[in-house]
Structure 1
Amino acid sequence: MKKITFLLLCLGTCLPGLAQFQLQGTVVETDHQPAPYATIRLASANDSSTIKGAVTDEKGFFRINKLAAGTYLLHVQSVGHQATWLPAFTLRETDPAKDLGIITLTEKTENLAQINVKGQRSLVENQGDRLVLTVANSVIAKGNKVEDILRYAPLVSATPLGIKVGNKSNVLILVDGRQMGQGTLDNFLQNFSAEDILKIEVIPNPSAKYDASFGAVINIITLKSLERGINGRLSTTYSQGHYGRFNPNGSLNFRSPRWNVFTTLNGRFDQVGSEEASVRTYQAGSMAGQAFSLYKTKGFSTFSGIDFFPNPNHVLGMRFNSSSQTIRSTTDGTTVFRSHSPGVDSVLVLNRLETDDGRNYDGSFNYTGKLDSAGKELSVTITKSFFDRSNTQFLTYQYQNVDRSSLRSPSRARIQNPKTEGNLIGKADLTLPLKSGRWEAGFQWTTISNDNLVTQENEGSTGKYVLDSSFSNSGNYTEHSYAGYASYSTKFKPGWSLQTGLRYERTYQELVSSTLSRTYSGFFPSLSLSKTLPNGPKISVSYARKISRPSLSALVPYRWQSDPYLISVGNPGLKPSFAHTLDANVTLGGLTLSVNYSNTQDAILNTVFFDPDTRIYTVSFTNLAQLHSEFVGLTWGHEWTKWWSMNWNGGLRGSQTQSPIGQYDAGSLTGYGVQTYLNNVFSLPKGYKAELLLVYESPSRSTINQSKGLFFTFISLNKPLFRDGNVKLIFRDVFHTQLYRYVVSYGNVSSSNQYYNDNQRLQLAFTYNFGKRTVKAAKDRSLGNDADKNRMGGGVR
């Protein structure tokens, strides 16, 4: 017993050296209001190296656990305030839980031509070649998905026709510098929680390092933990409109000195009602259609990775992204035919039952190494992507009189469209630092394959399906491309920086089922010049030459029948387009002005044709001879009071073309339009925060497409729960006005369409975080298939 007592006394004497300490404090602003989401960095007093990090909560409170005894420094930084270093302090056995108390920040004030401009709490920052939206811990992230927060990003607009940056629709979307297959990316945008996003970088005119087929880049950077051990998040979202949507998801991260492993699992269980109306007019009359579709979606997606750090200068990583989704839909529609004489001639009743199964897999291996102490770096990435889809439709057509009596027997058809796509891509980049600047060089090779089959069978007199050869076809497409680039960047004189580069790309395309076989190549220069003035304003100007390649599905010579009077066809003769782009932006305080001009030859256009004899509308991609487009955008962040902050994105978009369209001389197609996104955040008592989002888009024209005016608004109320939870209530499309309307009118084509997808909804989101969560920017490392995977995963419709 005496021996045991002696051992316990020894342990009691020795263990304080192994004890774990705790540090906490509260950060406030000059008026003693809490400073939420301030960045905390704990550093060693010996060499200022970072030990741990944290972010304050909405009350300005932070806590750092599991610290060793020692002497430390604390660095505190918050938007709109001076960075603050606290005096050195010591954690010792006599004070294991140290409370630093109240830490007061000093508001940042800069003098510009004798005008005081105080630092505003803006979500957007200009970093020269890119605009950055900070998302981490912001109220806009709570309860939202990634696609929801894209509307807050500067210069970005999202509609049913796709995502644009300014006036550029060929946008590359990266996740942590890596590109997913299109199907997996869609699942990521729709299902991945915005609370796991650190920031969104918008690059309006990317350099030679990026594939020349993209006019703009959006890089979505996810949160990474600095803490060793396990942390994660569980959340669930349910919204109710006419139908319900349920989205559970969770993330898990484990970090050790040499390993970092993370995974995210997202579920999607949706019922979505979609209403569509269209009117097509022609010389002899018109046809007006109405349809209601109910989509039932069940799917899962993953976003996983592992990084190994054999030593501080080298990292090996693997990423695996996957998604599996099944959509069952039913459509009931009518098309009313009218001649110019009053009354209805006849009615076409359409019923469609559709099943769509899709699977996407992305796997990549990457290595990054610092080769010497001067900063020479090598990065190598190999990526394999696969997309598999099976689509089956059963359609029934019934012609009826005005009194809905049958004019003829129903017609039935079965359309099947299995397809597989894949690519294998390798990419290497080398960085060479110099005394006067930095050289970068790299190369990339890509192999893409697309095997597509469309069969349409019509029900015969015997009740059996008979193949319709006019709507049945197959296409086996392969593409090989090679690219290399070199770029140089330097800083000269106070505040000046320059980046210039040249990229060469060569592409070979072959369509086995036709005579298509061609090779094209070109040089794509880029140049960027920026200047930071002594008092803070930033100015940058950039130029680049770009190429836009046709999507794989657009080249396959398919014929797809949506209904007897609307057909989509492929165009194997579609050519790539080339563009000269010029961008400039200026930032002063919380205001950023962005300007873009593009001159595109052989612009790719989704074109509509009409045959008055059959009354059939045919949709196909074609080339315009030349297209001019411009964009002027403003981004402004302002804090009106301590309880009301605002962020505003606005833009004016225009385009002009004199090009013939198909067999028609469409004349001058000139159009302009304004868009604006205004987000207001209100800090309320007891930790509540309210958000009001207002969106307006004016009527506008882009080539043959005209869009009608649009206005809608979102309202939300957010409340932290306990220490690690949060609940948010969102009322989407408050006034039931998020209705998208489009008109195509030129030559003998006159068509209008409108869509409403059950947007008015009440949504409740709950989130629980476990473990310690801190933020760290992920490295910008590309999968290497930036351009080509964005051309995958699209259907032929």
Structure 2
Amino acid sequence: MKRICIAIFLIVSFVTAKAQNNGKITGKVIDASTKQPVEYATISIFKTGVASPFSGSVSDDKGSFSINNIANGEYTIKVEFMGYKANTIDHVIISNATAIVSLNTLLLAPVQNELQTVTIVGKTPTVDNQIDKMVYNAANDLTSQGGAALDILKKVPQVTVDIDGNVELQGNANIRFLINGKPSSIFGASLADALQSIPASQIKSIEVITSPGAKYDANGTGGIINIILKESKVEGVNGNINLSAGTRLDNASMNINARKGNFGVNAFFGGNQQINSTTVNTNNRFTTDNNAGTLTHLYQNGSTAFVRGGYKSGLSLNWSITKYDDLTAAVGFNHFDNHYNGLTNQDQTTSGLTTNNLLSDLPSLRNSNSKFNANSIDYSLDYKKTFKTEGQELDILYTTSQSKNTAYSFQQQDYSSGVYPSSGAMSNNPGKDKETDISIDYTHPLSKTFIIETGAKGVFETINNNVATDTLSAGGFIPNANQTYGFNYQRNVYAYYLSTQFSLFNNFINAKAGLRDEYTKTTSDFPGANIPGYNTLAPSAVISHKFDPSQSIKLSYSYRIERPDYGDLNPFYNISDPHNITTGNPNLKPEIGHNYELGYNKSYNSGANFYVAVFYRYNTNDIQTYTTQYDTLNVGGTKYTNVFLNQRYNIGTETTEGLSLFGSVPVTDKLNLRLNSMFADRITSNPGSPNVSGFTYRLNLNTTYQFGHDLIAEVFGNYNSSQRTIQGTRPSFFSYNFAFRKELLNKKASIGFTTTDPFTKYVNQWATTAGTNFNQSSLRQVPFRTFGISLSYKFGKLEFKKDKEKEKDDNGNNLQAPPEN
């Protein structure tokens, strides 16, 4: 912490010494016909008498833009976007007396003719570093074109994805996932399966928020990842179709957008199927019993066939009631399922601890089968009202998400010696999950440099679950009343927040600061569990400074919590492997996190961009999985021998110090290199046990080469190092991809080829676990090699027509479009 404070002091001192150019120009770009914001309009600043611009910006999704660090002088501003007449504003003066100039609303008039075919070619940065988040633009991602959301996440700065789809943000797995800024119950059932069910072709961008502000829920000590799906707000009918087929994964998706005047419709469908593949598993376990003087060795060797599938579809309707009132309704349906089926040869031997004499040898064969199915429906209704004052906005959002999940598991052990009868269990676990969110957000600019945001939110979640278990007895499965039960779980969260956004010292510093108050009330009928309510005050702050349009620095802090979900709390025993049993812990407390980050961004005229950040995270009541070894474990009247019981606990504190680096360099006009890396040291402190320190790093390199106007190639390599955990080591992971894409039909269509690990059949995953009187090593050989081909086609036309009825000001007078310059 001392090192970080010194670094902050030195950088802030440097910032103070470099302060200059404090002028600022703001405005909002509006379609003169539809009165809708124009997103991605280009704003260029010219010095008077100079033909080339020296600075500029693009408008955001609300049409707003802000350009800082402008020296005193006289300028010309030019606003442009495809299909519109350019709008030029002359004699814009920045001086000590008028350091901030607001251009207010700038109207762009559509061209008079209808464009039958419009191809918009824009080069957006792959990574856009904003004041409170980092945005990864998935449209630039070539090697992931035939994959899923998980494949894109591997490329996102500060994000780590292992081979099983477990996601970490700056080394923390407690992440709040959103889709288009809204929660979905699909993430509550199985995060990896949910992310695998979203085709990469459906994703527009991924937002990473490591230090969320007060407007965001405080849940998720790791931060927030928001997946933005593709949609279009352009006039006319357009869309795209994407198909891919491969040796490991098949994908299909379709988007259709239609907009006429004030009404727009977006419909989409995307699905994929992971083709059946087989993983080879080997496990070696040694346990000692000092009282009995014995050493037991369990050897497991087998294979598991696995298949997964899923799809996501939805429909959204947008109605611009007036130029100040906007209503959006959406419905989405999500489905995914998986199926495991495996055979495992087991041999358990017991020998004398000192004499090494063989006391027993128990070979067996375990047959296991499991299926999981999840369906969820999401509804949302969003009303936004803007006002005459620029930046003033009211947003009322209602969302509800409900899912039905079904889990089935079966396992049977047959002993070849014939001494012991066969044993086994079969269970069905249907459940329902419903979450409803109601939020009201209001933004009010008190001045050009001071904005207040406030709002309230209620989250209401209900879970119902039932477990029916049969055990093998006398050659047949009979109901086991001791392992058959149901439970109800309800959690309500009531939140209020207040935040401000302001500038200091003539725009030398831009800052956001806020406080969020959340009260959590939980009720459940878990046996022997009493979950008290608790109140959380979560402050957050971020300050930033732009040295000039090409470089900036920011410092942020956020207070976060991680509420245990029902999977962590559910006392159900998963006995798909009787030697490795998993259960929840109803007595878990919320994890508390303090997140600090200091980041610096630099871009160059050549197109190169660099971002470096140091981060410090301190968690208390840290939630981690802990393994306990039992010689004999009684579960609902059934005894299991030589068992590892895996359960989540609040384990002391966890401190993570790290460095994140991102760089994008256009070596030539055709060759581009992109480096993404993270280095971190995690220290876990558990009272009564020695501290555990584990260093980890993640490296990936992306190279693209443009052969011509219509052929591009990409190579991507990713390496996640192994890491020491509180009881062992986590496996490393390395993979590499090659991809080619050829554009056809005047860039309306494209065909691509991708391959992953073409020269390696398996990815080897070594892991170890150790504790008092036991140690275990395991190897999983995961088939990761794949070859695939993808097709994409864009269709439709864009229309630019003037609507005379809507082209009126607040007094009902006709608005005249600005003259073409």
- Taking structure 2 as the reference length, the TM-score comes to 0.76
The answer for the alignment partner of 2:14 in structure 1 is none
User: Tell me, what secondary structure is at the counterpart of 1:739?
Assistant: strand
- Name the residue aligned to 1:84: none
Map 1:381-396 → 2, pairs under 5 A: 381-396=397-412
Other-structure match for 2:284: 279
Q: Alignment partner for residue 732 of structure 1, among 756, 763, 768?
A: 756
Q: Which amino acid in the other structure matches residue 553 of structure 2? A: I
**Deviation of 1:91 (Å):** 7.8
CA RMSD of aligned residues (A): 3.3
Separation in 2 of the partners of 1:121 and 1:263?
Answer: 25
Q: Which of residues 201, 205, 211 is equivalent to 2:211?
A: 205
SS of match in other structure, 1:770? strand
Which residue identity lines up with residue 756 of structure 2 in the other structure? R
**1:517-552 deviations in whole A, cap 9, x for unaligned?**
411112111111111113632111111111111111
**Residues 696 and 710 of structure 1 are in contact (CA less than 8 Å); yes or no, is this contact kept in structure 2?**
yes
Q: 2:647 aligns with which of 620, 628, 644?
A: 620
- The residue correspondences of 1:93-104 to structure 2 (distance < 5 A) are none
AA of the residue aligned to 2:214: A
Task: State the partner residue of 2:454.
Answer: 441
Q: Deviations over 1:579-611 (max 9, x none)?
A: 221111111231111111111111011111101
- How much has 1:50 moved relative to structure 2? 8.1
Distance 1:578 1:223, change over 3 A: same
Q: Which residue does 2:520 correspond to in 1? A: 507
Is 273-282 or 182-191 further displaced after alignment?
A: 182-191
Give the match's secondary structure for 2:157.
coil
Alpha-carbon distance change, 91 to 327 in structure 1, aligned in 2, over 3 angstroms: closer
1:671 aligns with 2:694: yes
Deviation at 1:410, TM superposition (A): 2.6
The correspondence for 1:236, drawn from 234, 240, 243, is 243
SS at match of 2:651: strand
Provide closer, same or farther for how the CA distance between residues 391 and 535 of structure 1 changes in structure 2, counting only shifts above 3 A: closer
Counterpart residue identity of residue 600, structure 1: N
1:152 aligns with 2:177: no
Q: 1:267 corresponds to which residue?
A: 271
> Does the 8 Å contact 2:178/2:224 carry over to 1?
yes
Rounded Cα–Cα distance in structure 2 between residues aligned with 1:266 and 1:172? 23
State how far apart, in whole Å, the 2-side matches of 1:144 and 1:220 are: 15
SS at match of 1:550: coil
The answer to whether the Cα contact below 8 Å between 2:710 and 2:744 also exists between their aligned partners in 1 is no
> What corresponds to 1:133 in structure 2?
136
1:386-427 alpha-carbon deviations (Å, 9 max, x no partner): 1111222232211224xxxx4433334221111111122211
**Most deviating of 321-330 and 504-513:** 321-330
1:655 and 2:671 equivalent? Answer: no
- Map 1:363-378 → 2, pairs under 5 A: 363-378=379-394
How does 1:336-347 map onto structure 2 within 5 Å? 336-339=347-350, 341=356, 345-347=361-363
Does the 8 A contact of 1:656 with 1:703 survive in 2? no
The offset of 1:693, in angstroms, is 0.7
Q: CA contact under 8 A between 1:122 and 1:647: conserved in structure 2? A: no
- Deviation digits for residues 138-181 of structure 1, max 9, x if unmatched? 53564343321111111111122621111222212222222222
- Asked if the contact 2:143/2:754 (under 8 Å) is kept, the reply is no
Q: Paired residue for 2:735, among 700, 706, 712?
A: 712
1-structure distance, mates of 2:441, 2:59: 33
Match of 1:475 in 2: 487
Separation (CA, whole Å) in 2 of partners of 1:258 and 1:682: 42
Q: 1:309 aligns with which of 311, 316, 320?
A: 320
**Identity in percent:** 20
Provide the C-alpha distance between the structure 2 equivalents of 1:374 and 1:177, rounded to a whole number of angstroms: 23
Structure 2 contact 186–334 (Cα < 8 Å) conserved: no
Listed one character per residue, the Cα deviations across residues 663-720 of structure 1 (whole Å, up to 9, x for unaligned) are xx44121110111010111122473211111112222224335223332211111111
The CA deviation at 1:433 is 0.7
Q: Which amino acid aligns with 2:521?
A: Y
Corresponding position of 1:761: 786
* In structure 1, C-alpha distance between the alignment counterparts of 2:689 and 2:541, rounded to whole Å: 36
In structure 2, what is the equivalent of residue 172 of structure 1?
Answer: 176
Gaps of 5+ in 1: 1-37, 54-63, 76-87, 106-119, 775-797
**Which amino acid is 1:674 matched to?**
Y
**2:560 aligned counterpart, secondary structure:** strand
Q: Is 2:498 aligned against 1:486?
A: yes
Retained in 2: the 8 A contact 1:597–1:631? yes
Equivalent-residue separation in structure 1 for 2:721 and 2:410 (angstroms): 39
Match of 1:692 in 2: 715
CA distance 1:750–1:305, shift in 2 (3 Å): farther
SS state of the match for residue 228, structure 2? strand
Counterpart in 1 of 2:366?
Answer: 350
1:147 match: secondary structure: helix
Secondary structure, aligned partner of 1:250:
strand
Structure 2 unaligned regions, length at least 5: 1-56, 64-75, 90-107, 289-294, 604-608, 633-640, 800-821
Which residue identity lines up with residue 562 of structure 1 in the other structure?
S
Q: Distance in 2 between matches of 1:773 and 1:148?
A: 31
How far apart are 1:615 and its partner, in Å?
1.2
**2:200 is aligned with 1:194:** yes
Q: Aligned partners of 1:393, 1:707: CA distance in 2, in Å?
A: 26
1:782 equivalent in structure 2: none
Contact 1:128 1:539 in 2 (8 A): no
1:455 matches 2:460: no
- The equivalent of 1:748 in structure 2 is 773
Summarize the Cα distance change of 1:73–1:139 in structure 2 as closer, same or farther, 3 Å threshold: farther
Q: Contact 1:91/1:98 (CA < 8 Å) preserved in 2?
A: no
Please give the TM-score of this superposition, normalised by the length of structure 1. Answer: 0.79
Mapped to 1, the partners of 2:400 and 2:217 lie a distance apart of 18
Partner of residue 595 from structure 1, selected from 592, 614, 619: 614
Quote the Cα distance in structure 1 between the aligned partners of 2:236 and 2:549: 43
Which residue in the other structure is 1:331 paired with?
342
How many Å separate the matches in 1 of 2:118 and 2:652? 69
Following the alignment from structure 2 to structure 1, what is the Cα–Cα distance between the partners of residues 192 and 124? 31
Question: How do residues 36-47 of structure 1 correspond to structure 2 at under 5 angstroms?
Answer: none
1:453 to 1:133, Cα distance in 2 relative to 1, 3 A: same
Residues 638, 137 of structure 1: alpha-carbon distance in 2 compared, 3 angstrom cutoff:
closer
- Code of the residue aligned with 1:656 in structure 2: it is I
State whether residues 269 and 299 of structure 1, in contact with CA within 8 Å, keep that contact through their aligned partners in structure 2. Answer: yes
Q: Are the structure 2 counterparts of residues 97 and 353 from structure 1 closer, same or farther at C-alpha, using a change threshold of 3 Å?
A: closer
> CA separation in 2, counterparts of 1:753 and 1:98?
58
1:351-430 matches, within 5 Å, as 351-401=367-417, 406-430=418-442
Counterpart Cα distance in 1 of 2:256 and 2:650: 47
* Number of the residue aligned with 1:605: 624
Residue 74 of structure 1: CA displacement? 11
Secondary structure at the aligned position of 1:136 is classed as: helix
Q: State the AA in 2 paired with 1:713.
A: Y
Instruction: Give SS of 1:615's match.
Output: strand
How far apart, in 2, do the equivalents of 1:92 and 1:302 lie? 36
Q: 1:97 to 1:563 in 2, by over 3 A?
A: closer
Query: Alignment partner for residue 703 of structure 2, among 680, 683, 693?
Result: 680
Deviation, 1:617, is: 0.6
- Aligned pairs (5 A) from 1:1-16: none
Q: 1:162 aligns with which of 162, 166, 170?
A: 166
Match of 1:498 among 511, 518, 526: 511
1:555-580 CA-partner distances (Å, limit 9, x unpaired): 12222212221211221111111122
State how far apart, in whole Å, the 1-side matches of 2:350 and 2:481 are.
Answer: 32
Gap change, CA 1:679 and 1:206, over 3 Å in 2: same
In the alignment, structure 1 residue 644 sits paired with structure 2 residue 671? yes
Rounded Cα–Cα distance in structure 1 between residues aligned with 2:644 and 2:393: 55
Q: Secondary structure at the match of 2:783?
A: coil
Contact 2:115/2:797 (8 A) holds in 1: no
